[in-house]
Structure formats: structure tokens, C-alpha cells
Structure 1
Amino acid sequence: MKVAIIGGGLAGLTCAWYLKKNGIADVTVFESSDSVGGKVKTDLISGYRCDRGFQVLLPAYPETRKVLNYEALDLQRFDKGSLIFRNGKKIPFYDPENGVSALIQTVLKGPGSLRDKVLLLKLKLQLSRTSVDTILNSADTRTALAFLKDFGFSSSMIADFWKPFYQGVFLENDLQTDNRMLRFTFKMFAESGAAVPKNGMGAIPEQLAEFIGKENIRLETAVTAFDAHSVTTAVGETSTFDAVVCAFNYEKSVLYHSVSNYYFEAEQLPLESKHVLLNANAKRIVNNVVLMSCVAPNYSSTNKQLISVSANGTGWTNEQITNDLQLLFGAQVRDWKLVKYYEIYEALPNLNPIRSFSSQQKAGVYYCGDYLTQGSINGAMQSGRITAEAILNSRK
């Protein structure tokens, strides 16, 4: 069987991975850019590894656990929880797994009331007993914000933790995303935290590509036309296939959330922390700050430090970002040097409600991608797997 996959992002690569693993060696992945990964790529710039947009892997994701070799990726783990900055104060919100000291700090100085902390433990326990499929296939389509309010969290807890944290996950500021995504991702964070590969997030698609075989991946090959059994490239070459998969949002059928990501070089870090640093100031632009060279030392091959700064939306000026950072860390930010700036217009599909993915065909062409289900690495890879299974079943 001969299969073409158009798009070398995680959905397309995962589809190809499963096809090869199940005996279909004649798979061709067409990718218009110069590297695989789609939205998940890492650039090497002046001795720094800069992911294109701050991204993390949640090792508890069921789809990544089926495919990725975590040991080979050499995952560099964040500390669970967050350090919250609000009105000149640092508010610890650490996971009890970080030790007794972390627990005491969170209980005494953390956001929200004691009742909020009890509710958080209740939610964590509930989700630990609920399967991923049960969460994602639930009929409950309330917004994340409505869910948190209905669960009983106080307005201060929502303002100081839930909003700052999930603005960085959902890439929207009002928590209007489907609550099932909040419950799913919170379960994943609680189970195994967050991590990045030693060599950057781009190591994830590279690992998939290595298994597929570089000879089966055609980079810098744009596709201009395709149907159920043929693919035509920009140079006019037409090839025939038994199955064709479109693994990108060809019809531009959904809208996207955008994000701006800045990487700064600093002589020294403003503090030592492997937590995500959250900006909870009322009038904020910067959403979160991550001390990348602290979390993952290999992100910097220099004797200086790499800091990632994210802000939802695009069009921010360097001065706006620097002014906002100064409210968090003081005048030292004026000495930080900009290494790279990304404006990512199609960072995350805006799907409300999210959808359960099933094999999708139009005019005989298979379609997969996170835009057809829910915006996450897990969603992209799930859609690729299910599409591969449909192709494999078509042989029977």
C-alpha cells in the first residue's frame, strides 16, 4: 500500500509513524518548509535553543506515551506549581510533592483562601479518578471560567491563579475555552507535571521523523493539488497513491489564538526557579516568564541565561513588554538583550466546544490535525493515530 501524507506536523508524522509500525513502509510525507514539526520547532540562535512559542510536553499525555521515547528525549522537568507575581509580591503556589516546605508555604502564603485550597485538592482527587476519555467525551460544554465559579473557587483564587495560569495554556485571556480542556490538562499537569526535551521541543518531531525515515520525508516540497489518489507538487510533479492524508488545516476552517514569544539573554537570572512564573497584575501584558536555562540548562550553550517571555496576542512593542517585565523584576530587565521574537498568528485552534475525533474523509481524502478535535500535542497525535488506523482497516 502506498500512502501520501501532506503536512509534516505532529498529526502527519504520527500518522506516518503508525503506518510504518504496522507494516506500511511506502509512506511519503510532503512538507513545504525546511523542517518537520509544524508548530513544534526549535531554532538554534547565537548559542540558544528557542522554541517557536513557549511550549511544554505534558508527559502524562496518553498519546505521547504510546509513541515517544522519553528517555531518549532526556526530559527536563519543571517543578510542579507556579510562582505568582502580584503587586510587587511573590506568591508561592507549589505542589505538595515538592516537599513539606512547599506545602507550608502554599498553605500560609499561597493564593486564595483555605477553602480554595481544599477545593483544589478535591478537584485534583476527582480528576485522578476520572479517565481522559470520560473527561473529553463529557457532555458538559461550560466555559472554563463558568466551571471554576460553579465548583466554588473564589474570585481572588480565579484572578490570582486560574486566570494567569490558564491564559498561558489556552492563549486567551477570559477562560472562555471549553472546561473539558481545563479538566484534561489539569489532570495531566497533576499527574506528571510539564517538561521540555533536552534539545528543545523540536526534538519531538525529529524523533518521529527518525523512525519514519528521512528518505520518506520530502522537505521544501509544496503541494498545489491533491485528491483521493494523487498529489501534485509546486514543480508540477504528480504521483499516485492508494491513500492520501491532508494533515494540515487546508480549508482554513477554524480561527486561531495568537501569541507573542520573546527570548532574552541575561547575565544572571532574576531568581532561581524551575516553576512557571505567572504575572497576576491586574493590567498585564506579559502572561508568563520561564527561566529556560534554569529548567533546561542545554537551552543555553553560553555562560549567560535564557529567559522566555510570553504575551497573548500580537503587535506588542518591545517597550511595552520591557515595562511590564520591570514591574515584576525591577530595573535589571533593561539590561536583558533580545535574542529572538516570535509572533505566532496560528498558535492554537479556537475550538468551542472541543470535538471528539473520528476518522474523517472528504472526497476520499483523509483529514487529521488538532484543529479537528482539540488544540494540544495530544490532540494532534491522536488524530494522526486514528487516521492511520482507518487506513490500515481499509485494507481488510
Structure 2
Amino acid sequence: RMIDGTGAIAIQVQHGIRVQGPPMAFREARTWWFAARAAPHPDPVLYLNGDGTGPVNHAVWMSNVSREYAPPGRALLSVTTLPGMEGWDDAAAVCGQLRDWFGPIADDWELLRGDHIRHALPVPALAHPCFEGHPPRVAPGLFICGDHHATPSINGAMLSGRQAAEAVLTEFAATPVLGD
């Protein structure tokens, strides 16, 4: 809600970005979800593909981040593959690389599904009006934020959201209340 009590509008970036300029290009990805009896390691770590071979870019045991992400007695693995990596859309190739990384225990993991995400991350374009460095205020009372407005990442989305919130507070001369 806006400070004056009126509603705020939120739109999907692939549609809303046209307000600011030409349609932005996006990178696609595929996320594969696996169920297991247990994660092979208890820590919430991100496994990165350090040698650039195989289809897997990175993997994380989501249930190590929060037990609520999987039913009791089960573990949930998220695996991301990117176009350009051989076998990125091939479940057998993904399973083969997981076996290389984690050993034969991976043979027992159940592939739940694979999600093709067409608009996974925006492609930064320095000339695009929404690229990092452009202010979040686009018109009086109108602000834009998201990873398309910063670096294409969760960190970029959060930074951009904070910058937009600060711009809103400045424009409306509001003082943030901590703890709300």
C-alpha cells in the first residue's frame, strides 16, 4: 500500500519493462528437483561447477537451508543447468554428473521434475534504461526495482528493492519504522 492508503501496482518484469524502454533480453535456465532419503552433507552450501564440464551449473540441498522445504525424513535437491552446457536439458546427463559429484548414492535420488525457466535472469544491457546506475524513480510516485535494475541475481534484486524503498521514503519524506 502507498503511504496515502491507495494501492500499489506490481507487474511482471517481462511485461512491465516496456514502460521504460525496449523489451529486455533474458537468459533461460532449467531447474531439476530431486528427492532423497538424506542429503550427503548437512550444511547449507552451494555446490558450484568449478571445471565447466557437464550440464550442471550449481546445486543446493534446499532442505539444508530449511527443513520445511522437504517432508520429514526426506531431503530436497535443486540443480540448475544453463543453455550452452552440453546436456543441459537432458535428465540422464544431469543424473550422471550428480553421480560424479556425489558418488553412487545419487543413483537412489528420485527426479521429481524439471522446470524450464524462460525468463530466469535478465541480460544486462548498459544502454537499457533499467540497467544498474539508473535511478529507481521513473516518474513522480512511480518507482522500479528488481534484478533487471541491478546485477542479475538475488543480491541485485534485493539491492534494487532497497534502493527503490529508500527513494520512496525520500520522495514522501517518510521515516522508516524499524521492526515493522
- Where do 5+ consecutive residues of structure 2 fail to align? 174-180
C-alpha contact 1:249 1:369 (8 A) present in aligned 2: no
- Where do 5+ consecutive residues of structure 1 fail to align? 1-15, 32-37, 40-246
Pick closer, same or farther for the CA change 1:352–1:249 going to 2, 3 Å.
Answer: closer
Equivalent of 1:328 in 89, 101, 105? 101
- In the superposition, the TM-score normalised over structure 1's length comes to 0.35
Equivalent of 2:34 in 264, 268, 293? 264
Q: Does 2:45 match 1:27?
A: no
Q: Does 2:67 match 1:297?
A: yes
Equivalent of 1:307 in 68, 71, 77? 77
Task: Determine helix, strand or coil for the equivalent of 1:277.
Answer: strand
Report 1:243-392 matches (<5 A): 248-250=16-18, 253-313=23-83, 316-353=89-126, 354-358=131-135, 359-361=137-139, 366=142, 368-370=144-146, 371-375=148-152, 376-382=156-162, 384-385=164-165, 388-389=168-169, 392=172
Larger relative helix fraction: 1
Shift of 1:391: 5.8
Task: Determine helix, strand or coil for the equivalent of 1:348.
Answer: strand
Pick closer, same or farther for the CA change 1:308–1:277 going to 2, 3 Å.
Answer: same
Report 1:186-265 matches (<5 A): 248-250=16-18, 253-265=23-35
Shift of 1:323: 1.4
Distance 2:16 2:170 in 1: 18
Pick closer, same or farther for the CA change 1:372–1:248 going to 2, 3 Å.
Answer: same
The count of residues paired between Structure 1 and Structure 2 equals 158
Distance 1:334 1:291 in 2: 16
Report 1:57-72 matches (<5 A): none
Task: Determine helix, strand or coil for the equivalent of 1:249.
Answer: helix
Match of residue 177 from structure 2: none
Shift of 1:252: 5.1
C-alpha contact 1:266 1:306 (8 A) present in aligned 2: yes
Pick closer, same or farther for the CA change 1:287–1:266 going to 2, 3 Å.
Answer: same
Percent identity for Structure 1 against Structure 2: 16
- In the superposition, the TM-score normalised over structure 2's length comes to 0.70
What letter matches 2:17 in structure 1? Answer: N
C-alpha contact 1:264 1:339 (8 A) present in aligned 2: yes
Pick closer, same or farther for the CA change 1:373–1:302 going to 2, 3 Å.
Answer: same
Shift of 1:365: 8.6
What letter matches 1:337 in structure 2? Answer: E
What per-residue deviation string (whole Å, max 9, x for no partner) do you get for residues 139-175 of structure 1?
xxxxxxxxxxxxxxxxxxxxxxxxxxxxxxxxxxxxx
Shift of 1:268: 2.5
